[in-house]
Amino acid sequence: MSKLTINEIAKMANVAKSTVSKALNGQKGVSDEVRQKILSLVADVNYQPNATARALAQNKTGIIGFVLPHSASTSLAETYWIEVITAITEEVELKGNNLMVIAPSSNNEDPYESLRNIVLRHSVDGLIMGAENLNSEIMDLIQKSGIPFVFIGQNPLYPHFSIDVNNEEGAYLVTKEIIKHLGDNHKQICCITGPKEYIYTKNRINGFIKACDEENFSGYHIFSTDYSAENTQKTVVELLEVCPNPDAFFIAAGGDFFLSIMDILRLEGLNIKKQVLGVFDDARIFDYLDFSIISAKQPLQEIGQLAAKNLFDLMFDKQPEKQVQYLSVNIILR
Partner DNA sequence: ATGAAAGCGCTAACAT
Partner DNA sequence: ATGTTAGCGCTTTCAT
Among 284, 316, 317, 321, binds its own copies (CB under 8 A): 284
Asked if 239 and 192 count as a contact pair (C-beta separation under 8 A), the reply is yes
Among 47, 112, 200, 217, binds its own copies (CB under 8 A): 47
| Smallest gap from residue 331 Cβ to its own copies (A) | 20
Q: Phi and psi for 244 in degrees, rounded to 5?
A: -70, -25
133: alpha, beta or left? (left if phi > 0; alpha if psi -120 to 50): left
Separation CA 247–CA 181 (nearest Å): 10
By rule CB under 7 A, what string of x and - marks binding of each residue 221-250 to DNA?
Answer: ------------------------------
Separation CA 232–CA 141 (nearest Å): 33
Separation CA 320–CA 311 (nearest Å): 8
Among 12, 44, 57, 236, binds DNA (CB under 7 A): 57
Q: Choose the stretch contacting its own copies; rule: CB under 8 A; options: 42-50, 166-174, 184-192, 244-252.
A: 42-50
In DSSP terms, 191 is beta-bridged to 222, 250
Asked if 132 and 198 count as a contact pair (C-beta separation under 8 A), the reply is yes
User: Which of the listed partners (its own copies, DNA, none) does 28 bind, with a CB threshold of 5 to 8 Å by partner kind?
Assistant: DNA
Among 19, 89, 232, 298, binds its own copies (CB under 8 A): 89
Q: Choose the stretch contacting DNA; rule: CB under 7 A; options: 46-54, 157-165, 211-219, 326-334.
A: 46-54
Separation CA 210–CA 216 (nearest Å): 10
Asked if 239 and 202 count as a contact pair (C-beta separation under 8 A), the reply is no
Q: Phi and psi for 34 in degrees, rounded to 5?
A: -65, -40
Separation CA 167–CA 160 (nearest Å): 18
User: Which of the listed partners (its own copies, DNA, none) does 101 bind, with a CB threshold of 5 to 8 Å by partner kind?
Assistant: its own copies
Among 16, 53, 157, 267, binds its own copies (CB under 8 A): 53
Among 36, 50, 135, 292, binds DNA (CB under 7 A): 50
Asked if 252 and 171 count as a contact pair (C-beta separation under 8 A), the reply is yes
Interacting residues with its own copies (CB under 8 A):
1-2, 46-56, 61, 63, 72-73, 76-77, 79, 81-83, 85-86, 89-90, 93-94, 98-103, 105-106, 114, 117-118, 120-123, 141, 144-146, 256, 259, 262-263, 272, 283-285, 287-291
Interacting residues with DNA (CB under 7 A):
3-7, 14-22, 24-25, 27-31, 33-34, 49-50, 53-54, 56-59
